[in-house]
């Protein structure tokens, strides 16, 4: 088999890359280890930066997003029993959209299938060959047959546990990592969201996050130990803890409902440098992980493939490798700014006990500052809504684009 770009992984990075390449007349084949149903049901992120929303709409995969996405003009920070609003609209004139990652995946798969794009689900035993030569290849097994896919380039979009990063020879990459001493216990509950906006809570017992995926489904998180045993968290204990941490003096608390899903996710930062080796390009979680506090993982994955698609389009149009050679440098400049923001949000909002109360008081002071200084609030807003993509200028807010 032969294609121009072989893509490993049908997550947001892999599918969006395939979609963008198709729009430039470049052929690709996507290889995914799981079934279509599995990837379409996998609940993960749900906050779209304005950049991401605009790209989905502008490239023709935003119709359902425009109907079902929830436009948020701000977020709330809650501490010491009070909620404080960060008004994105007022501060920077931009906004975010809440739309589940699994919905983005469904829309992208539908677009690829309609356009006749090739996606092999349940592709097994993938291995990469000849990465530093002119014709790399991917060996894999699908529909009970061993296959070999020859490509001009390979995009490793297979997440943090994929094989792409691991296929690069030892010593060719540098990894920067920070593992935080806590994790998130997350639930999905069948309960209409008790607030229209996302609420980040700092409490003496730890961080808590109130979010939503639709007008019927609430998504909630609690800071917990990295090795937390989910079996020790029956539903009543989860609700009690959520009410204790999130309840404010005005009587607000999240509304309860049947818990549809629960799980514990570690919190870590990781950056791989460079993000390319020979004809292999890493994109999304295969190259970097951000703590979920800044809601950036999926957005960063999409930002990477935007850069990669542009580089590949330039190569096929003119033979120039300039943009491809600059791929890592261009992406890493954004990746590190996003890491900084995600680390900052994480450090401000999680309990990380040193035992002497210093950090607790510093964090309260920081929250007080962010919610009382227009300059500090605007900095949070600018990063949360999404820094402009290289070569673009920020545009009107999402409300006008979506509605």
Ligand X SMILES: Cc1cc2nc3c(=O)[nH]c(=O)nc-3n(C[C@H](O)[C@H](O)[C@H](O)COP(=O)(O)OP(=O)(O)OC[C@H]3O[C@@H](n4cnc5c(N)ncnc54)[C@H](O)[C@@H]3O)c2cc1C
Instruction: Find the shortest distance in angstroms from Cβ 165 to ligand X.
Output: 10
Instruction: Tell me if 254 contacts ligand X by CB under 6 A.
Output: no
Query: Which tokens belong to 65?
Result: 């997003």
* Inter-CA distances, 246 with 108, 171, 200, Å: 35, 46, 9
- In the list 5, 7, 12, 341, the residue contacting ligand X (rule: CB under 6 A) is 12
Instruction: Find the shortest distance in angstroms from Cβ 333 to ligand X.
Output: 18
Instruction: Tell me if 238 contacts ligand X by CB under 6 A.
Output: no
Sheet with strand 137-142: strands edge to edge: 124-129, 137-142, 145-150
Instruction: Find the shortest distance in angstroms from Cβ 45 to ligand X.
Output: 3
**Residues 343/270, Cβ–Cβ less than 8 Å:** no
Query: Which tokens belong to 20?
Result: 């963008």
Question: Whose CA is closest to 352, among 186, 223, 166?
Answer: 223
- Please identify which residue in the block is written with the tokens 């699994």: 102
- In the list 6, 100, 254, 284, the residue contacting ligand X (rule: CB under 6 A) is 284
Instruction: Tell me if 107 contacts ligand X by CB under 6 A.
Output: no
Give dist(CA 235, CA 308) in Å, integer.
44
- In the list 5, 10, 56, 168, the residue contacting ligand X (rule: CB under 6 A) is 10
Instruction: Tell me if 197 contacts ligand X by CB under 6 A.
Output: no
Binding positions for ligand X, 296-335, rule CB under 6 A? 296-298, 301
* Inter-CA distances, 125 with 80, 241, 289, Å: 52, 43, 24
Please state, as a whole number, how many other Cβ atoms lie within 10 Å of the Cβ of residue 90. Answer: 14
Would you call 202 a catalytic residue per the annotation? no
Instruction: Find the shortest distance in angstroms from Cβ 286 to ligand X.
Output: 6
Instruction: Tell me if 193 contacts ligand X by CB under 6 A.
Output: no
Spell out, one character per residue from 58 to 87, where the chain touches ligand X: x when CB under 6 A holds, - when not: ------------------------------
Would you call 72 a catalytic residue per the annotation? yes
Q: Which stretch binds ligand X (CB under 6 A): 72-80, 81-89, 158-166, 271-279?
A: 158-166
Rounded to 10 degrees, the C-alpha dihedral 11/225/261/186 comes to: -70
> Three-state SS for 91?
helix
Would you call 38 a catalytic residue per the annotation? no
Instruction: Tell me if 295 contacts ligand X by CB under 6 A.
Output: yes
- Please identify which residue in the block is written with the tokens 């995914």: 32
Instruction: Tell me if 100 contacts ligand X by CB under 6 A.
Output: no
Instruction: Find the shortest distance in angstroms from Cβ 183 to ligand X.
Output: 11
Would you call 292 a catalytic residue per the annotation? yes
Instruction: Find the shortest distance in angstroms from Cβ 240 to ligand X.
Output: 22
Instruction: Find the shortest distance in angstroms from Cβ 89 to ligand X.
Output: 21
Give dist(CA 273, CA 285) in Å, integer.
13
- In the list 285, 377, 384, 397, the residue contacting ligand X (rule: CB under 6 A) is 285
Catalytic residue among 19, 22, 72, 350: 72
Question: Whose CA is closest to 397, among 38, 18, 49, 83?
Answer: 49
Query: Which tokens belong to 400?
Result: 């006008």
Q: Which stretch binds ligand X (CB under 6 A): 84-92, 151-159, 320-328, 334-342?
A: 151-159
**Residues 213/43, Cβ–Cβ less than 8 Å:** yes
Instruction: Tell me if 31 contacts ligand X by CB under 6 A.
Output: yes
Q: Are strands 137-142 and 124-129 parallel, antiparallel or unpaired?
A: antiparallel
Instruction: Tell me if 56 contacts ligand X by CB under 6 A.
Output: no
Establish whether the linkage from the previous residue to 193 is cis, with ω within 30° of 0: no
**Residues 10/117, Cβ–Cβ less than 8 Å:** no
Residues marked active site are found at: 72, 200, 292, 296, 384
Residues that bind ligand X (CB under 6 A): 8-14, 31-34, 39, 44-45, 47, 101, 123, 126, 157-159, 162-163, 265, 284-285, 292, 295-298, 301
């Amino acid at each position: 088999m032969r294609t121009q770009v072989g893509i490993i992984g049908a997550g947001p990075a892999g599918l969006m890359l395939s979609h963008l390449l198709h729009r430039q007349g470049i052929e690709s084949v996507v290889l995914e280890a799981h079934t279509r149903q599995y990837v379409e049901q996998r609940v993960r992120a749900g906050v779209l930066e304005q950049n991401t929303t605009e790209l989905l709409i502008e490239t023709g995969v935003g119709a359902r997003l425009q109907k079902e996405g929830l436009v948020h003009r701000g977020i709330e920070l809650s501490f010491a029993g009070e909620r404080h609003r960060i008004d994105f609209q007022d501060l920077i004139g931009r906004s975010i959209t809440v739309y589940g990652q699994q919905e983005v995946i469904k829309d992208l798969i539908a677009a690829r299938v309609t356009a006749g794009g090739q996606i092999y689900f349940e592709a097994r035993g993938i291995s990469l060959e000849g990465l530093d030569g002119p014709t790399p290849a991917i060996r894999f097994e699908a529909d009970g047959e061993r296959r070999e896919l020859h490509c001009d380039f390979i995009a490793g979009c297979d997440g943090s546990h994929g094989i792409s990063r691991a296929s690069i020879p030892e010593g060719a990459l540098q990894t920067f990592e920070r593992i935080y001493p806590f994790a998130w216990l997350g639930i999905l509950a069948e309960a209409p969201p008790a607030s229209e906006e996302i609420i980040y809570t700092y409490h003496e017992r730890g961080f808590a996050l109130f979010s939503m995926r639709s007008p019927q489904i609430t998504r909630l998180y609690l800071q917990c130990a990295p090795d937390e045993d989910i079996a020790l968290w029956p539903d009543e204990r989860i609700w009690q803890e959520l009410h204790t941490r999130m309840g404010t003096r005005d009587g607000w608390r999240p509304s309860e409902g049947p818990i549809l899903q629960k799980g514990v996710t570690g919190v870590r930062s990781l950056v791989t440098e460079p993000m390319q080796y020979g004809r292999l390009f890493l994109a999304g979680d295969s190259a970097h992980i951000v703590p979920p506090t800044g809601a950036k993982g999926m957005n960063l994955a999409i930002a990477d493939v935007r850069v990669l698609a542009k580089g590949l389009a330039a190569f096929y149009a003119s033979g120039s490798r300039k943009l491809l050679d600059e791929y890592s440098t261009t992406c890493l400049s954004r990746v590190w700014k996003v890491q900084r923001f995600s680390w900052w949000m994480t450090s401000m909002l999680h309990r990380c006990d040193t035992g002497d109360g210093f950090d607790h008081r510093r964090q309260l002071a920081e929250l007080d500052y962010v919610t009382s200084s227009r300059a500090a609030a605007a900095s949070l807003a600018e990063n949360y809504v999404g820094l402009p993509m290289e070569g673009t200028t920020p545009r009107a807010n999402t409300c006008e684009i979506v509605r």
